[in-house]
Structure 1
């Protein structure tokens, strides 16, 4: 206590004899010193703000509980993060060419973006899909499209991540069917499906079925993959879209982990041992603009999840305690004004993700506020990661900002705020109940409103938007989707329907419908059978929808 007391006295003396006279002469900037999430930032941090007597409890060593400093003992000294550029547009043929190009440029994993109809479970010829086919990602209607998408991609060597949620089971099984055709041993197949439908109800909107049948499908994916795809990450519990919708950093942690708790509870209730599926859970976080807050966010999230899995769910396998996560830089921070400035934003965000210990990373392209990225801008985004990896020296030591008084204090603060939210959600009955009552949606909306108000009032500076503006000509070199794409995709779908065995398709869909009508019947096996006979995405969803219905958001939203 004596040392602590002397440090307090020394700080007080510094404030009186050094700081106060300097302030009287020079002052400080008249601004709100706080993070983007409105966490106050003190002028100075010292060991008083990061007590060493709690080091082993709160910080510890990398690769060891509570994993604050990283999930692996050597982190990037052993293996760099996966550079997984998110891409997909137009047809499967066009996206396949982009994937192969990025792999040639040094990308180490695929990350597939699907168009809106695919995300919502509609075939490209559905009236609802009109005008949206291939616009924000690749259109996938049948196994034929997936075969084209993954043509010449060695699935036993390249991991595949898919940002797909409500129809995740169907798209995963399409990849499985392609792998079987390639002769790939399924036990070697690696990748991730996002498969996080709860955040769709709260923040994004690409849901299909109501929560309860959606949870049934998700737990069935856990069951099937634990038996057939032991190296596949069965869910990527996403805070990314929660943050893109306007949440704070603490809300991103809390609402993401609350959804994680709901998935674990559902799986345990379905009879799956927590250590059977726990090691294959993964997470997906945003890399936003406040550099130190983002680093602290990842560290706090790891610590909270380790405690949840060990103490709440009784997991005994240390791998179940590890929060492994993918990061994407924040699309919502990119500006259409002076788009070259986005390169700087993305670089800072990517660096924060690496310093925070991410396992894989996507860096957004500079033109994404205007359109899907061009090949040149996608390459520059990948080069950003490569410069950090091979030139910056940042990966040479584990958790280089660990022990920073500011970072440790901020990590503690975010943990406390996130825990308060988790306690509130628990009191409401869990994540599903908190979504159904609109609590999570309102919290996100309120945070987004506060931030936007600060931007409009000039309190939050956005370079090129509300400060340092230029008169600019509209950029010319942006990607444009061919207007004839939709007709070509529909023609390809019709050709598949014409050539496939209609009787086998009907039999497979009938079998799936029968399974959907039985509360405890497995769904993955009949779904795979339907996929392999070239039943379309919309046909499979339609069969399930007969029993599950289609979700409609309540009026309070």
Structure 2
């Protein structure tokens, strides 16, 4: 078969990569990977088109997953509700008013079975946005894969599992930092042998940016957290050339088109150097692989259709920046969870960029632009100043404990809000080009009654499962948590006996305490 030719609409052949004769001779796929982690990037394989979805019950979310897969989504991305994220079952008093609201309610392996009904885990990749309870949800996913007969050595996906940014920017932590870091490294260690293709952490700048940070702060604080995870794993005796290959990152893509592209290019170069300094010699362990989501906080409730243009710009910047995976926000997300129509337009945005724009035909098309190259260097230098300061404080955990990162984000958010309110920064439809609008009617709402549904399911489960086996598995987990053993096998056993998420989280609360 003749090699595929890439040409413009005029028939001009497009080269795989362009180099500036004098200074820009660095190649994609080679250290420090500024220009991309693969030699051919999207010429070889498009990024994974994920749509983040999850709401109400597992049954309802399952319908949305089948819909997205039918529309051409190539990877699922699961949103969990707040009780699931902080380790409470749907029937817990603190869960009232939150069940199924910002994601799907998962109380036990039974819910996970329903969530992926009719979907083969061996055939898709799944990203799960879960942190404090990540080991429990991952155990449920593994248990389901086993029940489906999937090869655990082949199943792939990502668990966010990034607790440091929870303390700094998001707030869904349960345990204090030390036991939280232990759980994270337990996942690293367990998956390295049992589920080797699983990405065991997605180090997230997204929520740092959503909390109001600048692009430079997002980059610096995310890489500083990444460095802390590398050191924690090294302290546990893990091989950086093995576990660093399974780390991935999750970045925001905001409105400033060229700054975002420069941020992604700088991120790869900085991470390559950080891993190398800590002993990584394998190229796979030096590569920064990342998922991008367009900026939720940039979406406006005013003139919501304008958000389609914002999302298109942000998605294009992520692709030009070399992302491995992308979620595009629905235009109505400033009002509610996205409707099916908004989710479809968001997915079509990615497909149009991939198959109609021509930007995927060559690798790193903006390389050699004096502006892009200078901006990449400047973003890197500014982020490095922050990382040096955090290192001097003793690393990201210490910087978070001293409230440094939180204060820096808060100051940036305050400044941005002032600039919007003073009109110094223009937000179309909000402080300029405004109009009178009717209240939105076609918004997606989740019924509060689903808490009753979930509560009934939990009661039925507890009446039919082997309760002595559940009690034994939870007791064994309690004893293991008091010692130094890896907790993943104990969590998996409890999950397979249909212990609930809340029961497992409470067992760990009893040993670790709450933060």
> Where on the TM-score scale, by shorter chain, does this alignment land: which range?
over 0.9
Residue 500 (1) aligns with residue 468 (2): no
Contact residue 268 and residue 288 of structure 2 kept, 8 A? yes
Which of 241, 244, 254 does residue 207 from structure 2 map onto?
241
Match of 1:420 among 366, 382, 385: 385
Please say if 1:528 is aligned against 2:492.
Answer: yes
Q: CA deviation at 1:53?
A: 6.5
Q: Partner of 1:291 in structure 2?
A: 257
Structure 1 distance, partners of 2:196, 2:465, is 31
Counterpart secondary structure, 2:153: helix
Query: How far did residue 51 of structure 1 move?
Result: 10
Show the counterpart of 2:6. none
Measure, in 2, the Cα distance between the counterparts of 1:314 and 1:517: 32
- In structure 2, distance between residues paired with 1:489 and 1:539: 15
Matched, 1:313 2:278: yes
For 1:347 and 1:529, the matched residues in 2 are separated by: 44
* In structure 2, C-alpha distance between the alignment counterparts of 1:403 and 1:106, rounded to whole Å: 34
Aligned residue runs from structure 1 range 12-161, under 5 A: 55=24, 60-161=26-127
Q: Distance in 1 between matches of 2:458 and 2:253?
A: 38
| Aligned residue in 2 for 1:472 | 437
Distance (Å, rounded) in 1 between the aligned partners of 2:336 and 2:45: 33
Structure 2 match to 1:184: 150
Aligned to 2:183: 217
Unpaired stretches in structure 2, ≥5 consecutive residues? 1-18
2:422 pairs, out of 440, 457, 462, with 457
Q: How do 1:305-454 residues align onto structure 2 when only pairs under 5 Å count?
A: 305-310=271-276, 312-454=277-419
Check if 1:274 corresponds to 2:213: no
What displacement does 1:55 show? 3.8
Aligned to 1:537: 501
> Structure 1 residue 483: deviation in Å?
2.8
- 1:297-325 CA-to-partner distances (Å, cap 9, x unmatched) read 00000000000101x21111100110000
Alignment pair present for 1:548 and 2:515: no
Q: In structure 1, what is the Cα distance between the partners aligned to 2:163 and 2:335?
A: 27
SS at match of 1:84: strand
Q: Is 1:265 equivalent to 2:231 in the alignment?
A: yes
Q: Within 2, Cα distance between the matches of 1:55 and 1:353?
A: 21
For the pair shown, the structure with the greater C-alpha radius of gyration is: 1
Secondary structure at the counterpart of residue 273 of structure 2: helix
Q: Work out whether residues 321 and 364 of structure 2, in 8 Å CA contact, stay in contact via their aligned partners in 1.
A: yes
Q: List runs of 5+ in structure 1 lacking aligned partners.
A: 1-49, 552-557
Deviation at 1:497, TM superposition (A): 1.1
| Distance of 1:150 and 1:176 partners within structure 2 | 12
Give the match for residue 33 of structure 1: none
* Contact kept? 2:24, 2:368, Cα under 8 Å: no
Partner of 1:29: none
The structure 2 residue matched to 1:196, chosen from 162, 167, 170, is 162
Secondary structure in 1 matching 2:248: strand
C-alpha separation in 2, matches of 1:540 and 1:212: 18
Partner residue of 1:554?
none
- Distance in 1 (alpha carbons) for counterparts of 2:456 and 2:359: 50
Aligned equivalent of 1:15: none
Q: Does the 8 Å contact 2:99/2:448 carry over to 1?
A: no
- Indicate the residue corresponding to 1:25 in structure 2: none
TM-score, structure 1 as length reference:
0.88
* Equivalent in the alignment of 1:44: none
Residues 53, 201 of structure 1: CA spacing in aligned structure 2 closer, same or farther, 3 A cutoff?
farther
Find the aligned partners of 1:474 and 1:465 in 2 and give their Cα distance.
15
Return the TM-score normalized by structure 2.
0.96
Shift of 1:294: 0.2
Q: Distance in 2 between matches of 1:123 and 1:525?
A: 22
Secondary structure of the residue that 1:469 maps to in structure 2? coil
